[in-house]
């Protein structure tokens, strides 16, 4: 896949990756062996018929390929950009055993982007209205998927979104240079074109309660509120000025356009030397955003080694090319402030990796040495947790861990008519796993309303954590 020049792109928010040309897409599709037992499909959480969609690309029927993907996945332009394909479909591709796997994600993105160049999307078949209303709380990938699948079955679906724009993390978390807002808008418009209503600025649990929704005639409720609350390390100095939690930092820029201050009235403190703590996608996005805001030096501070980094491989490479410096085996122990309460340094322990424990996992341990980084901003990107606003308002809802909802594999909670999926059931995970949960929940909501299952679900098993 072609990328923009790192020296130019690190100064702006335009998309970094340019996608495949038609010639490249044809060549890439031709590499697919059309396996009879395609391993790639078993690596896809929503089981897209990958060989079939690639066979359309081989025939140059790009819209046919897209239609095939949409039978399984309503957000192909998004998944083609942000899915961790190297550990999912591509990680299972048979060609990967000896050489490079087929670039399935790049082909998915290609057909989705091709459609935008030729006009309006072709709508799938939508059943006639069945007269039943379903409420979906949260417009992230889980919420949008459940809404689209139920709308296709003929349900009257309303999505309630707390923020002023739809899309969840796709909109407020993932930066424009990785996932342009117009792509999210296009996918959200597609979902709306199936008849789904999206009401923004509605915080369920405050603006409206769950009881009010049921009283208003909604037969079932899907909770897809994600896990967007901050997690801190609990080290001294986290309350200093210029320490940000990654989601807040990214939301200020992505959703509130702080990088265009004062044209937009949300500010973000610009810094010269920035330490980002963590090594997942959120950390990479924060580091590359800080660079684009004008920081001269940006460090990723991570307590393990490069091998254990959880972020997408492509984003790590992009960050390196743009000049982000990686401090591995480094664990922050204190954020040091100046006399005015502003960050001036980050003290870290130097770590070593121990021998694997019984589970086979290697853990980092302090080596006894420490070092100090001179920085004037610290961004904490060590994970998120559940937001309690809605959860606390629902009496009797069974929870696990730090306030995540217990649901079975089909999204059923312990309360009748109430379903859940995505990050709020698993903890922070991926776009496609949230979509997979949305798909399964849509089937089970349909079964519930049509009376194909008992109305009071059995106590569900806790969902798997990410
Ligand atoms: C910065 C960042 C980068 C990421 N990068 C990647 C990546 O490259 N690839 C990948 O696969 N995954 C990535 N992820 C993870 C992925 O985005 C999430 O796993 C996924 O978005 C979860 O989807 P969801 O639908 O469960 O929740 P979310 O996307 O979090 O959406 C939940 C929505 O619910 C709304 N909401 C919350 N409470 C209420 C309420 N009470 N009433 C109404 N609405 C409410 C929220 O405002 C939000 O819009 C990233 C995450 C972050 C934070
Ligand atoms: S495993 Fe690879 S080669 Fe086989 S069908 Fe899937 S993408 Fe094609």
Residue identifier of the C-alpha nearest atom 2 of ligand 2: 93
- Residue-wise pLDDT for 397-432, tens only, equals 999 998 999 999 999 999 999 999 999 999 989 999
Q: Summarize the confidence of residues 438-445 as an average pLDDT.
A: 96
Pocket test for ligand 1, best of 80, 84, 138, 209 (most atoms within 8 A of CB): 138
What is the model's pLDDT at position 9?
A: 95
What is the model's pLDDT at position 459?
A: 55
421 CA to centre of own chain: 13
pLDDT-based confidence at residue 203 (cuts at 50, 70, 90): very high
Measured over the CA atoms of residue 52, residue 53, residue 54 and residue 57, the dihedral's sign is positive
pLDDT at 464 over 70: no
| Sequence-separated contacts (24+) of 56-64 with Cβ below 8 Å | 56/111, 57/25, 57/26, 57/29, 57/107, 57/110, 57/111, 58/26, 58/29, 58/30, 58/32, 60/26, 62/25, 62/110, 62/111, 62/114, 62/115, 63/111, 63/114, 63/115, 63/118, 63/122
The two tokens of residue 440 are: 């399964």
Query: Left, alpha or beta for 408 (phi > 0: left; psi -120 to 50: alpha)?
Result: beta
Residues with CB under 6 A from ligand 1: 82-84, 137-143, 160-163, 168-169, 173-174, 202-205, 224-226, 228, 247, 250, 281-282, 285, 312, 387, 389-390, 422-424, 428-432, 434
95 CA to centre of own chain: 27
- Residue-wise pLDDT for 10-67, tens only, equals 999 999 999 999 999 999 999 999 999 999 999 998 899 999 999 999 999 999 999 9
Pairing verdict, β 384-385 and 229-230: antiparallel
Average pLDDT, the chain: 93
What is the model's pLDDT at position 466?
A: 36
Report which ligand 1 atom has the smallest distance to the Cα of 423: 26
The two tokens of residue 27 are: 């060549």
Pocket test for ligand 2, best of 94, 98, 99 (most atoms within 8 A of CB): 94
pLDDT at 460 over 70: no
Q: Is 39 a pocket residue for ligand 2 (Cβ < 6 Å)? A: yes
Ligand 2: centre distance to CA 41 (Å): 8
**Residue with tokens 């808008």, as numbered in its chain:** 185
Q: Do residues 90 and 103 make contact, with C-beta atoms less than 8 angstroms apart?
A: yes
How far is the C-alpha of 241 from the C-alpha of 226, rounded, in Å? Answer: 27
From residue 17, alpha-carbon distances to 1, 80, 91, 345 in Å are 7, 11, 20, 34
Report which ligand 2 atom has the smallest distance to the Cα of 31: 3
Q: Do residues 348 and 330 make contact, with C-beta atoms less than 8 angstroms apart?
A: yes
Pocket test for ligand 1, best of 89, 109, 136, 140 (most atoms within 8 A of CB): 140
Q: What's the length of the chain?
A: 466
- Residue-wise pLDDT for 120-141, tens only, equals 777 888 999 999 999 999 999 9
The two tokens of residue 14 are: 């335009």
The two tokens of residue 365 are: 């341990």
Report which ligand 2 atom has the smallest distance to the Cα of 34: 5
pLDDT at 462 over 60: no
Q: Which domains occur in the chain, in start order? A: 2-118 (1.10.1060.10), 133-228+384-449 (3.50.50.60), 232-380 (3.50.50.60)
Task: Kindly report the pTM of this predicted structure.
Answer: 0.92
Pocket test for ligand 1, best of 225, 290, 380 (most atoms within 8 A of CB): 225
Residue identifier of the C-alpha nearest atom 4 of ligand 2: 35
Q: Do residues 398 and 420 make contact, with C-beta atoms less than 8 angstroms apart?
A: no
Q: Among all ligands shown, which has an atom nearest to the Cα of 411? A: 1
Max distance between CA atoms of the chain, in angstroms, equals 68
225 CA to centre of own chain: 12
What is the model's pLDDT at position 453?
A: 79
Ligand 2: centre distance to CA 83 (Å): 17
Nearest residue to 44 via CA among 97, 8, 80, 4: 80
Ligand 2: centre distance to CA 322 (Å): 32
51 CA to centre of own chain: 25
Pairing verdict, β 156-160 and 197-199: parallel
How far is the C-alpha of 329 from the C-alpha of 65, rounded, in Å? Answer: 44
Nearest residue to 289 via CA among 254, 264, 265: 254
Q: Is 50 a pocket residue for ligand 2 (Cβ < 6 Å)? A: yes
Q: Summarize the confidence of residues 370-386 as an average pLDDT.
A: 95
How far is the C-alpha of 75 from the C-alpha of 169, rounded, in Å? Answer: 14
């Amino acid at each position: 896949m072609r990328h923009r020049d790192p020296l130019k792109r690190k100064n702006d928010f335009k998309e970094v990756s340019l996608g495949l040309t038609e010639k490249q897409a044809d060549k890439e599709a031709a590499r697919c062996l059309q396996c009879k037992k395609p391993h790639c499909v078993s690596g896809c959480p929503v089981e897209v018929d990958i060989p079939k969609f690639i066979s359309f690309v081989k025939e140059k029927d790009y819209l046919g390929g897209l239609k095939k993907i949409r039978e399984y996945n309503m957000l192909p332009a998004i998944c083609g950009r942000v899915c961790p394909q190297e550990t999912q479909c591509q990680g299972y591709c048979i060609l990967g055993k000896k050489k490079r796997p087929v670039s399935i994600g790049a082909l998915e993105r290609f057909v989705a982007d091709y459609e935008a160049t030729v006009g309006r999307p072709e709508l799938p078949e939508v059943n006639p209205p069945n007269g039943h209303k379903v409420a979906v709380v949260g417009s992230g990938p889980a919420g949008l998927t459940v809404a689209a699948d139920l709308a296709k079955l003929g349900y009257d679906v309303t999505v309630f979104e707390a923020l002023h724009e739809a899309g969840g993390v796709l909109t407020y978390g993932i930066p424009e240079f990785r996932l342009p807002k117009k792509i999210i808008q296009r996918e959200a418009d597609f979902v709306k074109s199936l008849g789904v209503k999206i009401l923004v600025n509605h915080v369920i649990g405050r603006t409206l309660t769950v009881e009010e929704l049921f009283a208003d005639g909604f037969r079932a409720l899907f909770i897809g509120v994600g896990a967007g609350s901050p997690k801190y390390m609990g080290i001294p100095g986290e309350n200093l000025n210029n320490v940000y939690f990654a989601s807040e930092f990214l939301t200020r820029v992505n959703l509130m356009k702080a990088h265009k201050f004062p044209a937009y009235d949300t500010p973000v403190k610009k810094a010269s030397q920035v330490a980002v703590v963590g090594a997942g996608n959120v950390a990479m996005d924060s580091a590359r955003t800080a660079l684009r805001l004008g920081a001269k030096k940006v460090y990723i501070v991570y307590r393990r080694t490069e091998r254990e980094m959880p972020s997408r491989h492509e984003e790590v490479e992009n960050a390196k090319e743009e000049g982000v410096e990686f401090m591995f085996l480094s664990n922050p122990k204190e954020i040091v402030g100046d006399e005015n309460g502003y960050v001036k340094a980050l003290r870290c322990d130097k770590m070593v990796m121990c021998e694997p424990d019984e589970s086979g996992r290697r853990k980092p341990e302090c080596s006894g040495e420490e070092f100090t980084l001179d920085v004037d901003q610290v961004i904490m990107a060590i994970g998120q947790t559940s937001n309690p606003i809605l959860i606390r308002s629902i009496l009797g809802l069974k929870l696990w861990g730090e306030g995540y909802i217990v649901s079975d594999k089909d999204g059923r909670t312990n309360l009748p008519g109430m379903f859940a999926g995505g990050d709020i059931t698993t903890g922070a995970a991926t776009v496609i796993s949230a979509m997979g949960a949305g798909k399964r929940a849509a089937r089970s909501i349909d079964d519930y309303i049509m009376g194909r299952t008992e109305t009071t679900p059995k106590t569900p098993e806790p969902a798997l954590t990410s």
